[in-house]
Structure 1
């Protein structure tokens, strides 16, 4: 009997050990974009998990989807919390100057290209200009939210006083009714610095989240009760609590973790990045101010953006704009996490605001305007130097 028991225990041990060998290995933090930041309290972790669940919620007609929409969940545009794909790229239409969008009563500013049965999706009205916007990665956004206006203004150089050809400007826009300015916010003629979105037309993550629910999925809230189809105010289809959980989730997603930082080619690429003045717009290091989330308060981080608008020249001028930005002006996109973009975009890069660039090199070559000099310096690099610069960018 004892022999049988011993044999049974040995078999169980071998079986369990064998099963352990088949368990999937957790990816390293630097190899994925998703995951919570370190230092959160238990309450903040719980809020993060609720927001994570809400971010993945799939809406249907019975839970408020549509009747016209672009997608049915947040995660469908931000797989793995990363960049979107041409299939999830949005169309924004309306204005070509800062006189205000004249097509808001015709479905603007976003084209809802899908609809529930019995409804017709939207089409772009005659006379409207438009641009394609590929969904961005959403990691590290909390750090960007808590950069102070003072620091953003310190990076601005509207008159190009240092004569380097670069004159980044903040995007000043009036706040939406439901948005509360940050305690340290700076105002100018009733307008505030906005920092999120391709044109920096969203003030904070609440502004961005409410807009995404409403315009991407046709989901109303107390913050924005206007139905995208009828233009009428209707009952909220998502709760304030859920909205705030998603905002908390976006605020506390970890920053992308750089890789291969000791690789000699990456080190040389970083030197070249600074040498050809890419860092003049893609500012390597920023610091947060005070945040009620201690893990975000007074933290140094490396996003490679200045959160300013820059004139990017004729090749990237789509004839469409938002707020007070010029049609050729775009907010400097953060470069952190760039090397992981392929994994969230189906194995292929789709870069720049509309995803038109299929490689990092192609994205660089489409730079113009204030970035013309940096592009030309990139062209003058040797093939080995170009490879090192790309390796550095992919390490971020």
Structure 2
């Protein structure tokens, strides 16, 4: 009995301490505040492959022993896409060597991308004399599966190369030749042996397999069976990453959820949404698209809200870097999806780095740097009252 009485105060204090810890535990973020996470409705096998791809994308770090380098930009995928979000100036890539559709003229000098880091004993690359170049800030990677399964027919229907409707906007697809390891997607449309490409700043990548293979090769210096060329020597070497890992990462990117909009019922957001359409931003940043057939049921024939048309648009002299990819002009850029825009600072150090190279440090700065086909919308934005501008920005932040 005496022993029990001696222990009682200690047990009581311990219980009080444990109970009081609850209020100091971090509050779990809401689902709409996170960019990462899988699509709903996946099968158990799809969820398992998503997890395998998640590990390869976020946790696997390459070293010299596992094939890194000798030249590289990053050591794993998450280095550039932390939290599956946008990159920063520290992770921005440099592409060089192509000024028109005739192809890259500097592949023999390390093109199309600078590997700005090197293992000890090697020198990192620099832009060769005479080569034009552009900076590419890594984009967010969520919702990409939806974009992959928009049909070519729908993309072509949004295209208006001759501006037949007279609105000053004439978006076009980036038509390119398929890499030998690629197969056309279902519902693909070919023109003169070329297919619509849709991923990347210039829409130069056909699908998520090409995007993944290129990232391993050009960003990490890792050869695969799909692209066995070593970025340092230019020689064909044995694969340094397995086909399974490549496929797992593709599956991961395919089945990441779409960003979830927030505060949609707020009056400012509703008014901003109306203004967005009124000043014709929605002509390029299409609010709603539909997927065609996908072998992943959760992506098949689904309506979604990405705010893009997946087309190239001439953005004017201010955004002409003198560099291009595929058949795009140097001033043409694929319309970036706006979903998840308001969450960008969570992966960009608490601030914005927008446009293709991160040069805009706020949403308004990005709007004011629009030119070319977007000149009229920019001018209409400038004519809004300050209150209307605030509402439009609130709407964009809610995406």
Q: Which category describes the TM-score, using the shorter chain as reference length?
A: over 0.9
Equivalent residue number for residue 80 of structure 2: 77
CA distance in 2, matches of 1:187, 1:278: 29
In 1, are the aligned partners of 2:137 and 2:356 still within 8 Å (CA)? Answer: yes
Residue 15 of structure 1 deviates from its aligned partner by: 4.8
Residue 37 of structure 1 deviates from its aligned partner by: 1.2
Equivalent residue number for residue 133 of structure 2: 130
In 1, are the aligned partners of 2:285 and 2:308 still within 8 Å (CA)? Answer: yes
2:78 is paired with a residue whose SS is coil
Matched, 1:22 2:24: yes
After superposition, residues 1-396 of structure 1 pair within 5 angstroms as 4=4, 7=8, 14-56=16-58, 57-396=60-399
CA distance in 1, matches of 2:272, 2:149: 29
CA distance in 2, matches of 1:290, 1:211: 26
Q: CA offsets, 1:86-117, max 9 Å, x none?
A: 00000000111111111111100001111001
Q: CA offsets, 1:168-226, max 9 Å, x none?
A: 00110000111111121100000000000000000000000000000000001000000
Q: CA offsets, 1:22-80, max 9 Å, x none?
A: 33322101111111111111111111111111012111111111100111110010111
CA distance in 2, matches of 1:290, 1:314: 39
Residue 120 of structure 1 deviates from its aligned partner by: 1.0
CA distance in 2, matches of 1:33, 1:362: 23
CA distance in 2, matches of 1:49, 1:37: 12
CA distance in 2, matches of 1:99, 1:152: 24
CA distance in 1, matches of 2:12, 2:183: 64
Q: CA offsets, 1:208-265, max 9 Å, x none?
A: 0000000000001000000000000001010000011111111111100001101101
* Count of residue correspondences: 396
Residue 13 of structure 1 deviates from its aligned partner by: 5.2
Residue 17 of structure 1 deviates from its aligned partner by: 3.1
In 1, are the aligned partners of 2:288 and 2:303 still within 8 Å (CA)? Answer: yes
CA distance in 2, matches of 1:21, 1:358: 36
Q: Which runs of 5+ in 2 are unaligned?
A: none
In 1, are the aligned partners of 2:286 and 2:306 still within 8 Å (CA)? Answer: yes
Residue 2 of structure 1 deviates from its aligned partner by: 12
CA distance in 2, matches of 1:15, 1:206: 52
CA distance in 1, matches of 2:3, 2:147: 65
CA distance in 2, matches of 1:107, 1:2: 81
Residue 286 of structure 1 deviates from its aligned partner by: 0.4
CA distance in 2, matches of 1:181, 1:158: 24
CA distance in 2, matches of 1:244, 1:11: 53
Residue 14 of structure 1 deviates from its aligned partner by: 4.3
CA distance in 2, matches of 1:239, 1:45: 20
In 1, are the aligned partners of 2:186 and 2:293 still within 8 Å (CA)? Answer: no
2:135 is paired with a residue whose SS is strand
2:77 is paired with a residue whose SS is coil
CA distance in 2, matches of 1:2, 1:203: 78
1:75 is paired with a residue whose SS is helix
CA distance in 1, matches of 2:272, 2:85: 24
CA distance in 1, matches of 2:165, 2:219: 41
Q: Which runs of 5+ in 1 are unaligned?
A: none
